Amino acid sequence: MKISNIRTEILKAPLKKPFITSLRRVDALEDLVVIIECDDGSLGYGEGAQTPVITGETIGSMIAAITYIKPYITGLELEEFDNILHLIHTVIIKNTTAKSALEIALYDLKAKAEKLPLYQMLGGKKTKFRTDITISMNETDKMIADSLQAVALGYDTLKIKIGDDPQKDIDRIIAIHDILDKHISLRLDANQGWTAEESVTLLHALEKRDIIAEFIEQPVSAENIEGLKYIKERVQTPLLADESVFSLKDAKRLLEMQAIDYINIKLAKTAGITQALQLAELSAEFGVKCMIGCMLEGPISVAAGVHVASAKADSITMLDLDAVALLASHPVHTDIIFNESEITLSDDTVGLGVTYTNH
């Protein structure tokens, strides 16, 4: 089973509504699909989302990176799996989303060759999951309406995007909290929009009103490691690191400093499945739980995230894999059942359980 070709296509899909954070606004999905072809006709699918303000990558840069890597691994047998992974990660540095797309496609092929669902190949058993849903940053009335709509659809955990204006952020959170039933959990994501001092002040203001979110995600800039520790030492609300953690080295530093409570694993940051699994294992060694998240991605990348969540279900206890639910339509067939907040893996499939139908 030899790699005979690697090609890319563009996956475009409309969103149900604009996706808005303190870093960016996206009105429609435009991702890169990677298809690895083998000489026996087998196809492996991967996907990467362009997030230049987070990973530094665009569609063009991902295509360029994959084009550069392609001759190093074309012609190799799939049985050289570990060597192929090594080449993907060493012939060019960084480019984590491009590498992730290649890795996802490669793991898809390997699981298909073993005639197993990917999660089973990775040692996973769990098949049923619940995810949160993102409430995009807007005026307070709009965010309240979106929150109520999400609850009506069956979501019991909402991820509230904030970070553009500290006072507005407080008003938004209080208003959303006060209008929802008490069993609804709130996750707050400031997307690096606050300073460490603002974070403490704002969280104290919420905590005095007995509003303690499930976590506050990446309130300060990615490089402000000391700021994360400053916040953690002063608030009750658990602290989750996202943009500060791309690699095992990043995570180990934060864990050794005891600067965070949780880690957000994203395949686009970890350069794929391999390091995501290692990151979950490292976190478990420190007794720290993880969330697996996604960029604004299509079903291929999100499927990979669900398989990883199954493989490391003991340490990955939270899911933020709502991207498929945000799409109005997409040209991807999947054996995974995405039913709003509920995601179910199939044991009657092989590989990722996805087929890209737009080629």
pLDDT of amino acid 190: 96
The model's pTM is 0.97
Within the chain, which residue ranges are assigned CATH 3.20.20.120? 120-356
Find the mean pLDDT for residues 41-59: 97
CATH number of 3-115: 3.30.390.10
pLDDT of amino acid 299: 96
Within the chain, which residue ranges are assigned CATH 3.30.390.10? 3-115
Find the mean pLDDT for residues 26-44: 97
Instruction: Catalogue the active-site residues.
Output: 161, 266
pLDDT at 107 over 70: yes
pLDDT of amino acid 126: 98
Query: Which pLDDT band, with edges at 50, 70 and 90, does 35 fall under?
Result: very high
Query: Which pLDDT band, with edges at 50, 70 and 90, does 237 fall under?
Result: very high
- Residue in this structure with the two tokens 């797309």, named with its chain if needed: 101
Position with higher pLDDT, 357 vs 270: 270
Query: Which pLDDT band, with edges at 50, 70 and 90, does 331 fall under?
Result: confident
Find the mean pLDDT for residues 222-241: 98
pLDDT of amino acid 357: 80
Q: pLDDT, tens digit, for every residue of 7-26?
A: 999 999 999 999 999 889 99
pLDDT of amino acid 22: 87
Q: pLDDT, tens digit, for every residue of 114-137?
A: 999 999 999 999 999 999 999 999
CATH class of 120-356: alpha beta
